[in-house]
Chains A and B, each alone.
Chain A
Amino acid sequence: MGKASYEKLKAHKRILKERVRQNSRALLEANKRLKKLEKTRNQYLFDIGHELKTPLAVVEMNLSALFSGQLDSHEKELSMRMLKHNIVRLKKKIEEIIQLSRMERGGQIQKNDIYLGRLVKTAFELHKDFAAVKGLAIKYTHNGHDPAIIGDDRLVTFAIDNLISNAVKFTDRGEVGIDLHLEGRHAVVSVSDTGKGIGKTQMKKLFKEFYKGDPGGPGTGVGLFISKKIAKAHGGDVVYEPNRPQGAIFKITFPIKKH
């Protein structure tokens, strides 16, 4: 073998060695990411189990209490409100699982006319009772607006419902406000609350999949992630801003249908 051929071979060997090193590193990184994903998925399964068990327990206990015939009229009303709300909670969680799986499979988005005013009113009505049980004031303002957008009503309902549900869930006293208004060519649904608000460190991770501000707290950490994805898929967005003097405001926007 000539000297030139030998040098060429040596250079090849160096390149190959470097490639092996790079690929090994990439494999290690991929393995790390997979392990992390597996861990977050397991946590999600645990959380979703928790999120399904609790409303089921509430439904069962209230049915049992109502059938006993021992409750007075005020208690019966409270019990029935809790029944209604927890059936809604169960439906919402099941919807969350379906939408998460649909998103991961890259499911198609339906394109229908949606009248946002009516859709938001339905979502507001669903959460009124639970807000009342918690002693919260809840109001919906729309100034007569009922803009049409184009999209998938099941997804849009999920996204808006999730923001209202979070506001009621994470607020212990005060008020939840839902406002529908127009900003240029966009319809904006703003959901404000007087809860604890979002800390600076939490803000960066707020829309990440499986992120929960309080690991021991309620929720599964996918609601905001899905809501933002839904809004983006419709040409809109979800943004957060602090409420003054206290609380959070989440705004979801959708482009208004062009006539």
Chain B
Amino acid sequence: MGPKDAKILIIDDEAEVRDSITLLFKSQSFKNTQAAKDAKTGLEKMQQEDFDLVIVDLMMPVVSGHHVLKEMKRLKTKTGVIVYSAIGLPEVFGQDLSKSYKGLVFLSKTVTPSVLVEHVKDALHKPAYTL
């Protein structure tokens, strides 16, 4: 299986962010992309099937992306993770996440699309992106 066949899950509460990432990835030949509108749906999808990479937002209503990270860590999943949020820092509701998730990539939504795509390519074969 080549990197272009990788299964990628996008978790973001904004429909347009999910659709835009999906189209961006498709334009880069990553065609096996799924999306979830909140943390709960994302975790359900992860229970149903295996993904190679999860791209998750942090600030989401009701349940934050931090919950997804906690669950993935608890389940010792080998799935790669990129946190893609507006703030772009290891911080959610004033809580510092850098100690709990050392080395995890926190990307800001201001990074250019090519930077996001480069991280996706790296994440698919580098263990540094796993929790």
Q: Are A78 and B19 in contact (CB under 8 A)?
A: yes
Please measure, in the bound complex, the distance between the C-alpha atom of A221 and the C-alpha atom of B87, giving whole angstroms. 18
Please measure, in the bound complex, the distance between the C-alpha atom of A189 and the C-alpha atom of B95, giving whole angstroms. 42
Residues of B within 8 A of A85 (CB): 16
Residues of A within 8 A of B60 (CB): 216
CB proximity of A107 to chain B, nearest CB, Å: 30
Q: Tell me if A27 counts as interface (CB < 8 A to partner B).
A: no
Q: Are A58 and B16 in contact (CB under 8 A)?
A: yes
Which of these, B20, B64, B112, contacts A82 with CB under 8 Å? B20
Q: How many residues of A are counted as interface, with CB atoms below 8 angstroms from the partner's CB atoms?
A: 30
Residues of A within 8 A of B59 (CB): 50, 216
Q: Chain A binding site: helix, strand, loop or mixed by DSSP?
A: helix
Please measure, in the bound complex, the distance between the C-alpha atom of A65 and the C-alpha atom of B26, giving whole angstroms. 8
Which of these, B17, B26, B62, B64, contacts A54 with CB under 8 Å? B17
CB proximity of A220 to chain B, nearest CB, Å: 12
Residues of A within 8 A of B27 (CB): 64-65, 68, 70-71
Residues of B within 8 A of A79 (CB): 20, 23
Q: Tell me if A86 counts as interface (CB < 8 A to partner B).
A: yes
Please measure, in the bound complex, the distance between the C-alpha atom of A13 and the C-alpha atom of B87, giving whole angstroms. 56
Which of these, A46, A50, A56, A61, contacts B24 with CB under 8 Å? A61
Q: Are A57 and B109 in contact (CB under 8 A)?
A: yes
Residues of B within 8 A of A71 (CB): 23, 26-27
Please measure, in the bound complex, the distance between the C-alpha atom of A54 and the C-alpha atom of B84, giving whole angstroms. 11
Give the interface of A toward B (CB within 8 A): 46, 49-50, 53-54, 56-58, 60-62, 64-65, 68, 70-71, 75, 78-79, 82, 85-86, 130, 133-134, 214-218
State the 7 A-B residue pairs at the shortest beta-carbon distance, nearest first: A68-B27, A57-B109, A50-B86, A64-B113, A61-B20, A65-B27, A217-B61
